[in-house]
């Protein structure tokens, strides 16, 4: 048991009507250095974005009251939210997973999530950010050094 | 040397819970989340589970009282939620009973639902007692450096 002083400077939104799952997933993400927020259904997930919040990762449960994960994912994508959205559910029928993926998910995992699974998701997000940051820097640097500009 | 004896007892008790098939790997995941800020994280989650799920148990019990006109969809929805929470704390046997109950809901088997629910309540109550004893012993033993995995 150690103090965890990591900070990835990433922000995550955990969307799940089950309070226990929200607490566990938030704790796992905190342990990986990710700042977290939790909401209880898809409508609240959409609302926080309308209030101007943004996230690097959204963990989206499928079955929730008021607005489920499929509807919320579609809505977020339709308003231009490009964050990584990872669907989570305890249901594992192929047709249900496909429907969820087609709503606009980047990835899907069956519950319960583990720290290892979340770590690989975070790793992927960080690598993607580094890639784009590196490419922006490279292109900009080349522009500055180009004698014909 | 003396301090290691209670820790061995804690490890043995945990091993026993796994050997009896009461807990699965998810419980270890929760233990590994304990840190200086939340040294008793797993105990907090389990306490929350029992508090939160008692409401679901009551709702299912109430729904099962309508013996001749059971609403299997409603029962399945309630049990889906209960199974989700049980799975999150690693309650392996409780989760298995939930799965069986849902199968009976799918096939519209009222008697199956009722029998399984009785068994589920027994497993749920039994796990609660054993976990209370485990956490009490763990608190007496003091914090462990790492969550140790059962064999």
CATH number of the domain encompassing residue A49: 3.40.50.2300
pLDDT, tens digit, for every residue of A39-49? 999 999 999 99
What ipTM score was computed for the predicted complex, to two decimals?
Answer: 0.85
Q: Mind listing the pLDDT tens digit for each residue in A30-72?
A: 999 999 999 999 999 999 999 999 999 999 999 999 999 999 9
Distance from C-alpha of B137 to C-alpha of B97, rounded to nearest angstrom: 28
Per residue in B130-146, pLDDT (tens digit) is 999 999 999 888 765 44
The answer to whether position A149 is within a domain reads: no
Mutate to test the interface with B, among A27, A62, A65 (most CBs of B within 10 A): A27
Domain that holds residue B81: 1-31+38-139
Domain count, chain A: 1
Range of the domain at A18: 3-144
- Chain B nearest C-alpha distance from A72 (Å): 20
Closest Cβ–Cβ partner in A4, A20, A28 for B52: A20
How many CB pairs below 8 Å do chains A and B form together?
A: 59
CB of B66 within 8 A of CB of B113?
no
Q: Which of A4, A20, A27 comes nearest B85 by C-beta?
A: A20
Residue B124 lies in a domain: yes
Structural domain includes residue A7: yes
Q: What is the CATH number of the domain that holds B83?
A: 1.20.120.160
* Bridge partners (DSSP) listed for residue A32: none
CA distance A31 to B34: 9
Interatomic CA distance for residues A87 and A63, integer angstroms? 10
pTM of the full structure: 0.84
> Per the domain annotation, does B150 fall within a domain?
no
In chain B, which residue's Cα lies nearest the Cα of A112? B88
Estimate the share of chain B in helix, then strand, then coil, as percent rounded to the nearest 5. 75, 0, 25
């Amino acid at each position: 048991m150690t103090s965890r002083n990591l900070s990835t400077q990433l922000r995550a939104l955990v969307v799940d009507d089950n309070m226990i799952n929200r607490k566990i997933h938030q704790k796992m993400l905190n342990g990986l250095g990710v700042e977290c927020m939790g909401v209880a259904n898809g409508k609240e997930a959409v609302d926080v974005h309308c209030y101007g919040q943004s996230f690097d990762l959204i963990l989206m449960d499928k079955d929730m009251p008021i607005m489920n994960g499929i509807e919320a994912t579609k809505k977020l994508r339709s308003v231009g939210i490009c964050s990584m959205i990872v669907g989570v559910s305890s249901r594992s029928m192929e047709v249900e997973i496909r429907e969820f993926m087609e709503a606009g998910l980047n990835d899907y995992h069956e519950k319960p999530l583990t720290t290892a699974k979340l770590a690989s998701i975070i790793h992927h997000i960080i690598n993607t950010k580094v890639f784009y940051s590196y490419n922006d820097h490279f292109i900009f640097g080349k522009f500055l050094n180009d004698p014909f500009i | 040397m003396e301090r290691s004896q209670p820790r061995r007892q804690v490890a043995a008790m945990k091993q026993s819970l796994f050997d009896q098939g009461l807990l699965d790997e998810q419980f270890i995941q929760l233990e590994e989340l304990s840190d200086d800020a939340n040294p008793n994280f797993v105990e907090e989650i389990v306490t929350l589970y029992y508090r939160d799920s008692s409401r679901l148990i009551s709702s299912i019990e109430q729904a099962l009282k309508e013996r001749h006109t059971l609403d299997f969809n409603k029962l399945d929805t309630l049990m889906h939620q209960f199974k989700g929470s049980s799975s999150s704390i690693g309650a392996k046997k409780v989760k298995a009973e939930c799965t069986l109950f849902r199968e009976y809901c799918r096939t519209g088997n009222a008697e199956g639902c009722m029998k399984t629910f009785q068994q589920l309540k027994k497993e749920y109550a039994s796990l609660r007692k054993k976990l209370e004893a485990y956490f009490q012993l763990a608190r007496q033993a003091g914090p462990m450096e790492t969550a140790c995995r059962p064999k």
